[in-house]
Structure 1
Amino acid sequence: MTSLSIIMMEYQVERRPGSFHQGGAIFFLAFVLTGMMSIQNYGVALANAAAPTADVQAGGISEKGDLTLRQVLQLVLQNNPELSAFSREIAAHEGTKLQAGLFNNPEFSIEAEDINSSNSAIQKFATFRISQLIELGGKRPARVNVATLGQELADQAHAAKRLEIIARTASAFVDVLENQAQVSVMDDTLHLVQVAMETVVKRVEAGKAPPMEAIRSKVALSTASIELEQARRSLSAARTKLALLWGEAEPRFDRVLGELESFVEIPEFDQLVKRLEENPVVRQSLKNVAQREAMVELEKARKIPDITVDAGIRRYLGTDDTTAVVGMSIPIPIFNRNQGNELEARQRLNKAMDERMSVELQLRTEFVRNYESLLAARNEIRVLHDAVLPGAQNAFEITNRGYQLGKFSFLEMLDAQRTFFQNRILYVRALANYQRLVNTIEQLIAAPLADSATDSTRLNNQGKEHNQ
């Protein structure tokens, strides 16, 4: 069993909440579960991942049940119409490549002269001729090269779209996880508000608290009910958004299974920025430049005139004699030397080069922004987990007990309670934001962060050994 298989099995093992450890983030699991190890074998890996399993068949999913990320990815890769459209485009390029390599068809012609003339001195004859255009200057290989690069360009576009859809699916999966956690927090809030209201009512009935506190507790209960309903509606919208990725208008699953508290070691900036070149969008821009260069060579080859050779027989009708005829024609490149098409091809090559530089700059800018946001999100989670949440929980428990003993007012208890649950919601949002940022970073480098972290550790160890 490979290490990747072990990772996939261990993902379902329960983790201690709130602990920071090196593990696969959501998008890392997307890569692992689809078998993606590098962009070179990306197509084969996703083709294997798209194969139906016992849990997910091509026709859809069961009416009820929980979905893992593996199942979601399989559904999307099998049924997403955007990927299907890109696959059709690749298949179309097969025809373009085939057509580019074909020779020109020969032409058969029949000529007859003076067949209705009454002058016996004029020879009547008919000529049967076959003509063949012969391309010179390497036009056909150049055409095939352009078509081949066009197909490779379509492959890279398909890989880029697949990577985008995987990242979009992982983010939508995180959205559902986040909303499920928020519904759970809101449900806990409603339960504790109900308990608090019962305590308030007892204190009011016993004459230990003013009647106004009972009214305030009912308002707090109504507010908690509204917030719970809003969280449920947000969850419903997130589930629908996820289901739409594989073409289902209505979600037919119960829950998604995953762990928001899953963290990955973040490699150094310099280590990650080098991997931007592996992004299929960059490879697509490079392939576009290569195709434009091939088109320039094709237009240069088209400057060389082609020749047409013909051969046939001529039949003299009056004498029944037959003779062979041969011929050759070649255009004289005086006016049209294909200079316009060559100029156009060169300008489009310059445009492709500018677009490549623009793509690299845009990816680097986006990477810098998301990398800094990821570091900030990690620090935010640590502060919330280590300081804010324990303090808010402790304050809530103390004020709650103190209110029952009459040491704190109802408003102080209610404020501590709301602060605690607001920070729980903030923690859930921070976790989800962290996972989405990991998804984005891994989409930009087209590889799991764990792989980059391993490479960085190995290089550091090698450097230490060399210094020793």
Structure 2
Amino acid sequence: MSWLSSSRVVYLQLFILFCWAFSPLVHSKNEMKMPEEKVLTLSSAIKRTFKDNPSLKVFKFRQKALEGQLQSQSLKPAYEVGFEMENFAGTGDIGVFNSTEFTLSLSSILELGDKRKARAGVISGRSSQIAAMREIEALNVLGEVTRRYIDIIAAQERLLLAKEATLLAEDTLTEVEKRLRAGVAPAAEIKRAQAAVGNARLTTSSEQQQLDYAKVALAMMWNETTPSFTRVEGNLYQFATDIKFEVLLAKVKKNPEILIYATQERLKEAQLRLARTESNADIKWSVGIKQIQVLNDTALTAGFSMPLFSSKRNAGAISSAQAAHDEVIVKRAATMLALHNQLYRAYANRKQAIFTAQSLRNSIVPTLTEALNETQIAYQRGRYSYLDYLSARQELLFARRAMIESAAAALRYGTQIEQLIAEPLSASQSSNAQPSNFINQKAF
């Protein structure tokens, strides 16, 4: 009994392979690497996670447990050997062992209604359900490792911004010192500039700590407590092409959270069939040999028994199984509605985050950069105050920080959409995409 149907294996493999092959996080915008750096790619992170993540290994043991149950449930009723002794003691002429009768018998149960096949059908349904649950867990793990990967890329960008802010604050301090020596700036400006440098260095230290934590969180996905990499590779500002919401909604039907209801429905149907077979009474039979001591002879014995009114007594179990079957259909409709709501929220938020990130990157940040350069020149010439210079610097830093957060949010919402539609957004735009084969079926 396989873990996954062949179509689902191929389907989930292609999803994971396309995710890393076409993800904008795979290719770095900077190809230069320091020799001492250990750079991690998204494809490597996914491969290591699916190999060593503990949450995916439990399904192997659940499957083995079901295989054991199937082996037991497929057995025919056991044979029983019986021995009976009668009249071995009494009063009068019976005496002790004078009239003893011995009976040696063989008995078993004749199952009616194809119960053995019905039991095997229930185990098969549970096996399919475990396979679907593993698909859901695999998608959840894939989504989580991608989100943690995005967190590291964003943390790397924030750390880079913090270092640039520190250099900018130090440059500002240098300009203030020049103005002080020229006698055109008060001493208080020096103290404010020195404090700004101190705050910038504190921010850099904080961002470094956040990056270190993010790397540990990602490494934990493959059960590694100390990261073996120094940085991850990826482009925070490369987004997959947008897809119409109606197209995405149609793809939600492929989500394992929806497909699992098909396996649950089959399981409930198997349990309903098993409950109905219980209405057929089983026949218990026995045959044997009886030793008659008084006659010094032997005789054959045979007998059978069966319960009465089995169908009526089993009506409650059938009604309960039918109700459980109908409940699955209702839950499927409710889950589909919830997924529709989640998809629309992620879709709308992603569009807004992309618009914000691109507006900041293409228009606002360049404008503020020019404004800061012009303000710096004017400050050096004494036309602007220190407050004007500081405000221009902070506006640029805030805009660049917002650009990073918006880009990271867009990628996270994209990951959520991919998890909901069980398909990478980038692969949806490529008709000639060929998946690599570094993950084979054994990974599942």
- TM value normalised by structure 2: 0.85
Quick one: distance in 2 between partners of 1:48 and 1:70? 8
User: Residues 44 and 368 from structure 1, CA distance in 2 versus in 1: closer, same or farther, beyond 3 angstroms?
Assistant: closer
Q: Does 1:66 align with 2:39?
A: yes
Cα deviation 1:406-438 (Å, max 9, x = unaligned): 232221111111111211111111111111111
Partner of 1:332: 308
Quick one: distance in 1 between partners of 2:53 and 2:296? 71
Q: Does 1:108 align with 2:81?
A: yes
Cα deviation 1:178-231 (Å, max 9, x = unaligned): 001100010011011101211210111121322222122112212212221221
Q: Does 1:179 align with 2:155?
A: yes
Q: Which runs of 5+ in 2 are unaligned?
A: 1-5, 19-35, 432-444
Relative to structure 2, which stretch is displaced further, 309-318 or 391-400?
309-318
Partner of 2:386: 410
User: Residues 194 and 241 from structure 1, CA distance in 2 versus in 1: closer, same or farther, beyond 3 angstroms?
Assistant: same
Partner of 1:4: none
Partner of 2:261: 285
User: Residues 334 and 344 from structure 1, CA distance in 2 versus in 1: closer, same or farther, beyond 3 angstroms?
Assistant: closer
Partner of 1:342: 318
The AA in structure 2 aligned to 1:445 is: I
- Offset at residue 319 of structure 1 (A): 4.3
Matches within 5 A, 1:138-177: 138-177=114-153
Quick one: distance in 1 between partners of 2:230 and 2:16? 27
- Offset at residue 352 of structure 1 (A): 2.1
Cα deviation 1:20-76 (Å, max 9, x = unaligned): xxxxxxxxxxxxxxxxx9744256679999xxxxxxxxxxxxx97222212222222
Matches within 5 A, 1:29-428: 39-41=8-10, 65-116=38-89, 119=93, 124-333=100-309, 337-428=313-404
User: Residues 366 and 312 from structure 1, CA distance in 2 versus in 1: closer, same or farther, beyond 3 angstroms?
Assistant: same
Partner of 1:22: none
Cα deviation 1:262-281 (Å, max 9, x = unaligned): 22112111111111111111
User: Residues 44 and 94 from structure 1, CA distance in 2 versus in 1: closer, same or farther, beyond 3 angstroms?
Assistant: farther
CA RMSD of superposed structures (Å) = 2.5
1:310–1:327 Cα contact (<8 Å) kept: yes
Partner of 2:22: none
2:37–2:231 Cα contact (<8 Å) kept: no
User: Residues 423 and 400 from structure 1, CA distance in 2 versus in 1: closer, same or farther, beyond 3 angstroms?
Assistant: same
1:139–1:298 Cα contact (<8 Å) kept: yes
User: Residues 65 and 241 from structure 1, CA distance in 2 versus in 1: closer, same or farther, beyond 3 angstroms?
Assistant: same
2:15–2:423 Cα contact (<8 Å) kept: no
1:39–1:280 Cα contact (<8 Å) kept: no
The AA in structure 1 aligned to 2:160 is: S
- The percentage of counterpart residues that share the same residue type is 26
Partner of 1:32: none
The AA in structure 2 aligned to 1:41 is: V
1:42–1:159 Cα contact (<8 Å) kept: no
2:278–2:310 Cα contact (<8 Å) kept: no
1:399–1:412 Cα contact (<8 Å) kept: yes
1:134–1:307 Cα contact (<8 Å) kept: yes
1:65–1:254 Cα contact (<8 Å) kept: yes
Relative to structure 2, which stretch is displaced further, 39-48 or 377-386?
39-48
Q: Which runs of 5+ in 1 are unaligned?
A: 1-36, 50-62, 456-468
The AA in structure 2 aligned to 1:223 is: N
- Offset at residue 158 of structure 1 (A): 0.8
- Offset at residue 447 of structure 1 (A): 0.8
